[in-house]
Amino acid sequence: MSDFIEIGSINDIPLRGARVVRTHHGDIAVFRTATGNVYALDEYLPGKAGPLSNGIQHDEKVTDPMYNWVFDLTTGEALGADEGKVETYEVKCVAGRIHIAAKAVIPSVAAE
Amino acid sequence: MTQKLIIIGAGMAAGRALEHLFEVAPNAYDVTLFNAEPRGTYNRIMLSPVLSGDKVFDEIVTHTAEWYEENGVTPRFGEKIVNIDRSAQTVTSENGEVLHYDKLIIATGSNPFIIPLPGHDLNGVIAYRDLEDTNTMIALGDKPGAKAVVIGGGLLGLEAAAGLALRGVDVTVVHIMGHLMERQLDEAAGYLLRKALVDKGITVKCSANSKEILGENGKVKALLLDDGTELPCDLLVMAVGIRPSVALAAEAGLATGRGIHVDDQMVTSDENILSLGECVEHNGDIFGLVAPIFDQAKVIAKTLAGEEAAFSNKEVATKLKVTGCDLFSAGDFADADGREDIVFRDPARGVYKRLVIEDNRIVGAVMYGDTADGNWFFGLIKDREDISEMRDTLIFGPAYQGGSPLDPMAAVAALPDDTEICGCNGISKAQIIAAINDGAHTLDAVKSISKAGSSCGSCVGLVGDLLSFTLGDEFKMPEKEVVCKCTDLSHDDVRKLIVAKELKSIPQAMQELDWKTTCGCHVCRPALNYYMVCAWPGTYEDDGKSRFVNERVHANIQKDGTYSVVPRMLGGITTPNELRAIADAADKFDVPTVKVTGGQRIDLLGVKKEDLPAIWYDLGKAGMMSGQAYAKGLRTVKTCVGSDHCRFGTQDSTGLGIQIEDAMWGAWSPHKFKLAVSGCPRNCAEATCKDLGIICVDSGYQILVGGAAGLDLRETDLLVQVATEEEAIEVSCAFYQLYREGAQYLHRPYKWIAKVGLDWVKERVVDDLENRKALAERFHYSQKFYQIDPWAERAKQGVDAHEFAPIADFTKVEAE
């Protein structure tokens, strides 16, 4: 099977907006920043932060709505004094469609 | 032996190629130069100064009749070549003459692209390409009241528009993209450019789609946009791009793509035919700017002279030739992984500079307002120089290493003299500066002499800036609390400047107020958004993405990521039907917890985000709307049962509570705003710890303000006692409006009153009846735009549907 799976159109996510992808091992937040870049990260840092797709975006960062942790969308790392990291997943846009790494969403591939 | 060289096209490329050829091989060729335009080579780039009147045509001619004669070139101007016969090595001119060549250069340039809109062939629809077009535009300037529309907000279109405006023509630029010159500029620089053009009297319409060109008697009359707008015009200029002119080469069977294919030596697929300029395609690139074309001219001359040379395409920089719009752009400035920005803004001078850094190298530069260092940055881009050593001071340019920080006074310095700084006392910037010059050298002295800052005190920050700006180091500004790390301004400063400078969007505010980050943070964005919601009801477009999630999805997020839903019940009054609908909804959506709140409402806790629109739909059907229990805005009006039922009740407290809530729901404010109305001093509705409480007494209504029962516990103070319900409602609305307009974001009324003083509030809401009325009127005006049930919009009209549903769900997909 292909390494990437299509999840929707780029227009499904407004600029500075985010949407969720549901998977068997938890939700993934897909962000589209003001400059049009698309990132996929785990929706939750269990016990610490999330749901990140509900946060306010600024530059390539998002502020967690629960405790105001700020995460770098490019690395998933918490910035500032907070320490933690959410998993990031490869995404790419081809002809206006968003594709996510298949191993992020399909359990059988993740297990390989 | 002299060979025959024929050149088709006498544009800038051909002119430059001839100069180089005569340098490297003075007598090798006998040259015949054909040109369809009835003239020789001139500097086409300088047509804009000709249009604007800065230059006359003769000044931009680069090759005169004498030059051609001295160099033995036979000019055949005004004559087209209609055919090339490659096997016979001949060309045929339009009057049938056949000439032999040993070498042929095709330099046919490009044709302006004309959008095939209905009406594009009308009289008065032109491109901006040659002297004829320029003269048509100049002639229009002689016609009083002439109007022109320019389609295309790129380099050429804007130069045309600016030139027409200088000739006295009323010009509108129509641009399909979201900001001007999007290929060269980012949004912030595009904004500054647009502002400068608007200042020149040019109307700019971005994101505008042209639909049809309307005409009358075969002549252009107006441009119709697809939103129905009609822009009347006497002339329509299309400046939307160029296409390489390849027809002649293609007919001769040469390899062509978008342009005529050439190799690194500028030779086409026929070894005796060469080509350069805007008509060629080299390694997939086509060319519109002069720098790489001049490089091609050097290469083609050497190739003809039999010397080794190879063309390679390099970075190019762009400058706009419009007086007063100084901009520079070079390299690649798109955001991408691993790229960082260095941004410098000086709003007072309208300066914006941005460098895009990747791997310690500058890969792109955009500058507006001050482009003096453009070539230095361009050099660093071309040479791929490592800038890590000078990174701290890089943005200040080559002459300024280790320089001083930005001028925090810039925004204040830029204000016009008659700007009102102190709204309470009506004191302008000029009056404050006069007071300072008269010897008031401290904040207190300015307050006592000019009265500025002596009332509510919210302008003290700006007064301090004016002291620093006027006195320099002599004045030491007391520490002030800034909004966040993105700015040096306080909340009060920002609020006042938004009004004074009429800032109506977040990007505009960040540019004009010298924000230090490109797009703010989670602290300043919600504050800016609220200040604009308050300042510009009806005209500001609320930015949901700058709101905390609760206000964006109109429900309260809970610790597990579910939401709580609270329907509005005016005055805490409900009905059996509403209760049945709430019970049905709780059953249908498996609501785990149903709770009665402290504000006399019912809270449904644990609703899944994707169920929100559906549960709202059901509640809406029963006549209920959002209780805004999540809002920095009007929350609830608690009431007791009052004189209807209670033996102690002095007035209809329930009815008054319902009227006030009905007038106030939907309003946004700096923080949440809670009210209560008690029917007697026993105070069952607990009105004395609310932001605004009313206690009914036999003789009327006591209006109490500034209570709190949260982190701080504070009893209300009496604002005023009034005799009638109408007055009670008017005072309540006026007080709320004064708080909405004056308090800093996230300050409850008690914090704001502590800062401005209760007496100051009384003066405005109690003593000055006219001001009370004006405040209440401003509140009611604003309510026209904000009393919209957000649940209904989302449940029935699908507003923000993307907020609620996942984009994809793989839990329903079987694993392979």
Q: In CATH, what number is assigned to the domain containing residue A106?
A: 2.102.10.10
Considering the entire predicted model, what is its pTM? 0.60
H or E, element range at B692: strand B692-697
The nearest CA of chain A is from the CA of B395 a distance in Å of 20
Q: Is B808 helix (H, G, I), strand (E, B) or coil?
A: strand
Instruction: Tell me if B94 is assigned to some domain.
Output: yes
Q: Is B797 helix (H, G, I), strand (E, B) or coil?
A: helix
Clarify whether residues B102 and B154 are in a common domain.
Answer: no
Length of chain A: 112
* Cα B293 from Cα B625, distance rounded (Å): 66
CATH number reported for the structural domain that contains residue B469 in this entry:
1.10.10.1100
More confident residue, B224 or A96: B224
H or E, element range at B238: strand B235-238
The answer to whether B810 contacts A20, with C-beta atoms less than 8 Å apart, is: no
The answer to whether A44 contacts B561, with C-beta atoms less than 8 Å apart, is: yes
In this structure, are residues B511 and B345 in contact, taking their beta carbons and an 8 Å threshold?
A: yes
Closest residue in A to B517 (Cα) is A59
Residues of A within an 8 Å Cβ radius of B: 1, 7-8, 12-17, 19-24, 27, 30, 33-37, 44, 50-51, 54-60, 63, 65-66, 68, 70, 74, 98, 105-108
Q: Which of B153, B334, B305, B157 is nearest to B237 (CA)?
A: B157
Q: Which of B517, B511, B544 is nearest to B529 (CA)?
A: B544
Average pLDDT, chain B: 89
- Residues in chain B with CB shorter than 8 Å from the CB of A42 are none
The answer to whether A19 contacts B557, with C-beta atoms less than 8 Å apart, is: no
Clarify whether residues B102 and B162 are in a common domain.
Answer: no
In this structure, are residues B766 and B732 in contact, taking their beta carbons and an 8 Å threshold?
A: no
The answer to whether B806 contacts A35, with C-beta atoms less than 8 Å apart, is: no
| Whether residue B334 has pLDDT greater than 80 | no
The answer to whether A51 contacts B336, with C-beta atoms less than 8 Å apart, is: no
Q: Give Cβ neighbours of residue B263 (< 8 Å, ≥ 6 apart).
A: B282
| Minimal Cβ distance to A106: which of B334, B559, B815 | B815
pLDDT value at residue B141: 87
The answer to whether A55 contacts B810, with C-beta atoms less than 8 Å apart, is: no
Mutation pick from A25, A59, A64, A100 vs chain B, by most beta carbons of B within 10 Å, is A59
Per-residue pLDDT averaged across B515-528, rounded? 91
Instruction: Tell me if B417 is assigned to some domain.
Output: yes
Q: Of B216, B240, B264, which marks where a domain is finished? A: B240
- The CA–CA distances, whole Å, from B414 to B349, B367, B417, B514, B692 equal 8, 20, 9, 12, 39
ipTM of the complex: 0.91
Q: Provide the angle, in degrees to the nearest 10, between the axes of the packed helices B491-500 and B524-535.
A: 40
Q: Domain limits at B714?
A: 634-786
Q: Which of B132, B125, B102, B131 is nearest to B32 (CA)?
A: B102
Report pLDDT digits (tens) over B13-57.
999 999 999 989 888 899 999 999 888 899 888 888 888 887 888
Lowest-confidence region among B225-229, B385-389, B793-797 = B385-389
What single-letter amino acid sits at B445?
A: A
The answer to whether A63 contacts B813, with C-beta atoms less than 8 Å apart, is: no
Clarify whether residues B365 and B226 are in a common domain.
Answer: no
The answer to whether A21 contacts B336, with C-beta atoms less than 8 Å apart, is: no
The answer to whether A33 contacts B335, with C-beta atoms less than 8 Å apart, is: yes
Q: What are phi and psi of B419, to 5 degrees?
A: -65, 135
| Whether residue B459 has pLDDT greater than 50 | yes
Per-residue pLDDT averaged across B360-366, rounded? 87
The nearest CA of chain A is from the CA of B629 a distance in Å of 17
Report pLDDT digits (tens) over A32-65.
998 889 999 999 998 888 899 999 999 899 999 9
- Residues in chain A with CB shorter than 8 Å from the CB of B542 are none
Clarify whether residues B664 and B769 are in a common domain.
Answer: yes
pLDDT value at residue B418: 79
* Tokens standing for residue B283: 């390694």
Cα atoms found within 13 Å of the Cα of residue B354, Cβ hemisphere only: 26
In this structure, are residues B598 and B710 in contact, taking their beta carbons and an 8 Å threshold?
A: no
pLDDT band at B735 (very low <50, low <70, confident <90, very high): very high
Lowest-confidence region among B138-147, B316-325, B716-725 = B316-325
Tracing tokens 């901006």 back to the chain, one arrives at B128
Q: Which of B390, B337, B392, B342 is nearest to B367 (CA)?
A: B342
Tracing tokens 């039922």 back to the chain, one arrives at B645
More confident residue, B412 or A13: A13
Clarify whether residues B587 and B510 are in a common domain.
Answer: no
Closest residue in A to B814 (Cα) is A106
pLDDT value at residue B627: 95
* Cα B284 from Cα B263, distance rounded (Å): 11
pLDDT value at residue B242: 85
| Minimal Cβ distance to A14: which of B335, B802, B810 | B802
Report pLDDT digits (tens) over B760-787.
999 999 999 999 999 999 999 999 999 9
What single-letter amino acid sits at B488?
A: D
* Cα B497 from Cα B491, distance rounded (Å): 10
pLDDT value at residue A108: 59
| Minimal Cβ distance to B816: which of A56, A66, A108 | A108
- Residues in chain B with CB shorter than 8 Å from the CB of A74 are 337-338
The answer to whether B548 contacts A65, with C-beta atoms less than 8 Å apart, is: yes
In this structure, are residues B459 and B452 in contact, taking their beta carbons and an 8 Å threshold?
A: yes
Q: Give Cβ neighbours of residue B205 (< 8 Å, ≥ 6 apart).
A: B172, B173, B174, B175, B225, B229
Q: Of B396, B419, B453, which marks where a domain is finished? A: B396
CATH number reported for the structural domain that contains residue B376 in this entry:
3.30.390.30
Mutation pick from B191, B522, B543 vs chain A, by most beta carbons of A within 10 Å, is B522
The nearest CA of chain A is from the CA of B561 a distance in Å of 6
The answer to whether A23 contacts B518, with C-beta atoms less than 8 Å apart, is: no
The per-residue b/e assignment along B221-246, b for 16 or more CB within 10 angstroms, e otherwise, is: bbbbeeeeeebebbbbbbbbebebbb
pLDDT value at residue B438: 87
**Alpha helix ranges (H) inside A1-112:** 102-105, 107-110
In this structure, the number of other CB atoms found within 10 A of the CB of residue B405 comes to 6
CATH number reported for the structural domain that contains residue B559 in this entry:
3.90.480.10
Clarify whether residues B362 and B421 are in a common domain.
Answer: no
* Tokens standing for residue B225: 């946009």
pLDDT band at B814 (very low <50, low <70, confident <90, very high): low
pLDDT value at residue B406: 44
Report pLDDT digits (tens) over B568-609.
999 999 999 999 999 999 999 999 999 999 999 999 999 999
* Cα B437 from Cα B450, distance rounded (Å): 12
The nearest CA of chain A is from the CA of B37 a distance in Å of 42
pLDDT band at B722 (very low <50, low <70, confident <90, very high): very high
The answer to whether A24 contacts B815, with C-beta atoms less than 8 Å apart, is: yes
Total structural domains in chain B?
A: 6
Clarify whether residues B639 and B782 are in a common domain.
Answer: yes
Q: Is B534 helix (H, G, I), strand (E, B) or coil?
A: helix
Report pLDDT digits (tens) over B566-579.
999 999 999 999 99
Instruction: Tell me if B800 is assigned to some domain.
Output: no
The per-residue b/e assignment along B447-456, b for 16 or more CB within 10 angstroms, e otherwise, is: bebbbbbbbb
The per-residue b/e assignment along B421-435, b for 16 or more CB within 10 angstroms, e otherwise, is: bbbbbebbbebbbeb
pLDDT value at residue B548: 93
Clarify whether residues B381 and B508 are in a common domain.
Answer: no
DSSP letter for B610, please: G
Total structural domains in chain A?
A: 1
Clarify whether residues B751 and B662 are in a common domain.
Answer: yes
Report pLDDT digits (tens) over B95-134.
899 999 999 999 999 998 888 899 999 999 999 888 899 9
The answer to whether B802 contacts A17, with C-beta atoms less than 8 Å apart, is: yes
The answer to whether A58 contacts B815, with C-beta atoms less than 8 Å apart, is: no
- Interface size A-B, in CB pairs within 8 Å, comes to 99
* Cα A79 from Cα B700, distance rounded (Å): 56
Clarify whether residues B428 and B569 are in a common domain.
Answer: no
The nearest CA of chain B is from the CA of A69 a distance in Å of 10
CATH number reported for the structural domain that contains residue B147 in this entry:
3.50.50.60
CATH number reported for the structural domain that contains residue B762 in this entry:
3.30.413.10
Residues of B within an 8 Å Cβ radius of A: 334-338, 517-522, 525-526, 545-549, 552-553, 557, 559, 561, 802-803, 805-811, 813, 815-816
DSSP letter for B123, please: B
Clarify whether residues B779 and B657 are in a common domain.
Answer: yes
* Tokens standing for residue B521: 């943070």
pLDDT value at residue B404: 40
Q: Where are the beta strands (DSSP E) in A14-105?
A: 17-23, 26-32, 38-42, 56-58, 61-63, 70-72, 88-89, 91-94, 97-101
Clarify whether residues B709 and B777 are in a common domain.
Answer: yes
* Tokens standing for residue B400: 């300024």
Per DSSP, the residues of B536-592 read STTTS---GGGS-HHHHHTSEE-TTS-EEE-B--GGG---HHHHHHHHHHHHHTT-S
H or E, element range at B100: strand B98-100
Report pLDDT digits (tens) over B498-510.
998 899 999 999 9
Report pLDDT digits (tens) over B709-720.
988 889 999 999
Q: Domain limits at A50?
A: 4-110
| Whether residue B815 has pLDDT greater than 80 | no
